[in-house]
């Protein structure tokens, strides 16, 4: 079957290890389901995999891709929850949780196999391309906002780095849930788009906000960390799920954190139950993922290049 896979690891030039070509179709295994992939979306996790983060040389070649929507062996339209081993279903009881492409072959292929527990029904209201955007970036944003930040309608939120998949999702979900959303971006066009999607206002990174916010959604890391901390009201919550600009900020702002009793919460992906809630939320409200571009699988390299350059707003989706 045709697939996009990591053939080697290169920390400095990750795309040099990306190969488009034939790979063996997945083999049947007890308790697992093979899904015919209709659409799959790119995440920064795929670039990190090519750099060897979470993916060892001993696992190569590895088909990339965490997210997918498609049809199961009975023709049902489904979405995949990409965290394997979270519950023990389909794997050994002592196996730690992992994300597809860390231990098991991913979704950038004609077929993928996952534990039956990881297969969810796709709402008819969502297209395959829309549904394929949800299991990583949108699920991450959903958990950051509603589980870990604990915000309620009427609260205020700062979303750093508008344009990325998680940040874009946080803006749209926050607006739909009745939050007052502020956003930042270095790019003027992305700031304009953030406002169009529901942000009250979008600013250049580091700009002073008109008010202190209840929570900050942080995926950028070192470049925006100090601004994130300074933008919180006393007792506010900073939720971080990524560090695309690096994980070592020049100023940790420890004094401000303890003096204002701020909360810093790490957040990774989300649960199967949260993904079911997210799918239902999108189906019921009309909220849809923001898609930057849809490409056929054989043009996956173009999508990776856009992701690496940061030249996108929303998700890049690959179709099979």
Chain segment 101-114, per-residue pLDDT in tens: 999 999 999 999 99
C-beta separation of 36 from 16 below 8 A: no
Residue 293 confidence (pLDDT) above 80: yes
CA 304, CA 16: separation in Å to the nearest integer? Answer: 11
Give the residue-averaged pLDDT of 49-53.
95
The 10 Å Cβ neighbour count of residue 75 is 8
C-beta separation of 113 from 32 below 8 A: yes
Residue 136 confidence (pLDDT) above 90: yes
Band of residue 93 on the pLDDT scale cut at 50, 70, 90:
confident
Residue 86 confidence (pLDDT) above 70: no
Question: Which helix or strand (DSSP H or E) is residue 294 part of?
Answer: strand 291-296
Query: Got the DSSP string for 237-265?
Result: EEEE---TT-S--S---HHHHHHTT-EEE
Sketch the domain layout of the chain as residue ranges.
2-133+289-319, 137-266
Question: Which helix or strand (DSSP H or E) is residue 5 part of?
Answer: strand 2-6
* Average pLDDT value over all residues in the chain: 95
- Burial group, residue 27, by CB count within 10 angstroms (0-12, 13-18, 19+): exposed
Question: Which helix or strand (DSSP H or E) is residue 114 part of?
Answer: strand 111-115
CATH number of 2-133+289-319: 3.90.180.10
DSSP lists the bridge partners of residue 184 as 203
Band of residue 89 on the pLDDT scale cut at 50, 70, 90:
confident
Chain segment 169-226, per-residue pLDDT in tens: 999 999 999 999 999 999 999 999 999 999 999 999 999 999 999 999 999 999 999 9
**Token pair listed for 56:** 């060892």
Q: Can you give the length of the chain in residues?
A: 320
Chain segment 242-289, per-residue pLDDT in tens: 898 999 999 999 999 999 999 999 999 999 999 999 999 999 999 999
Chain segment 137-173, per-residue pLDDT in tens: 999 999 999 999 999 999 999 999 998 889 999 999 9
Q: Which long-range contacts (CB under 8 A, 24 or more apart) does 209-214 make?
A: 209/158, 209/182, 211/156, 212/236, 213/156, 213/157, 213/158, 213/182, 214/149, 214/151, 214/155, 214/156, 214/157
Helix (H, G, I), strand (E, B) or coil at 109: strand
DSSP-derived pairing of the beta strands 32-41 and 315-319: antiparallel
**Token pair listed for 44:** 């920064």
What CATH fold (topology level) applies to the domain 137-266? Rossmann fold (3.40.50)
C-beta separation of 41 from 67 below 8 A: yes
CA 78, CA 275: separation in Å to the nearest integer? Answer: 12
pLDDT value of residue 272: 94
Give the residue-averaged pLDDT of 18-25.
98
- Least Cα distance to 217 among 235, 243, 195, 241 occurs for 241
pTM of the model: 0.93
């Amino acid at each position: 079957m045709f697939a996009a896979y990591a053939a080697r690891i290169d920390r400095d030039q990750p795309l040099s290890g990306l190969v488009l070509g034939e790979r063996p179709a997945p083999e049947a295994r007890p308790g697992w389901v093979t899904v015919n992939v209709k659409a799959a979306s790119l995440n920064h996790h795929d670039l990190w995999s090519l750099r060897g983060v979470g993916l060892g040389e001993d696992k190569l070649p590895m088909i990339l891709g965490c997210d997918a929507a498609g049809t199961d062996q009975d023709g049902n339209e489904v979405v995949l929850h990409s965290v394997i081993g979270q519950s023990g279903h389909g794997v050994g009881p002592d196996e730690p949780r992992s994300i597809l492409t860390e231990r098991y072959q991913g979704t950038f292929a004609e077929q993928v196999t996952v534990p039956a527990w990881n297969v969810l029904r796709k709402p008819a209201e969502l297209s395959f391309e829309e549904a394929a955007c949800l299991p990583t970036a949108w699920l991450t944003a959903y958990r950051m906002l509603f589980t870990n930040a604990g915000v309620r309608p009427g609260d205020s939120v700062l979303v750093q780095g508008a344009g990325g998949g998680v940040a874009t999702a946080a803006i749209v979900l926050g607006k739909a849930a009745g939050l007052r959303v502020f956003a930042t971006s270095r790019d003027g066009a992305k700031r304009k788009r953030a406002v169009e999607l529901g942000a009250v206002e979008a600013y250049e990174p580091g700009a002073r906000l008109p008010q202190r916010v209840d929570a900050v959604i942080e995926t950028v890391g070192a470049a925006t960390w100090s601004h994130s901390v300074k933008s919180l009201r006393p007792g506010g919550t900073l939720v971080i799920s990524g560090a695309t600009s690096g994980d070592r900020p020049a100023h940790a702002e420890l004094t401000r954190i303890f003096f204002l009793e701020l909360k810093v919460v790490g957040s990774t992906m989300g649960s199967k139950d949260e993904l079911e809630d997210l799918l239902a939320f999108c189906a019921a409200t009309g909220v849809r993922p923001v898609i930057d571009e849809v490409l056929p699988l054989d043009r996956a390299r173009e999508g990776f290049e856009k992701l690496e350059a940061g030249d996108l707003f929303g998700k890049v989706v690959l179709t099979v």
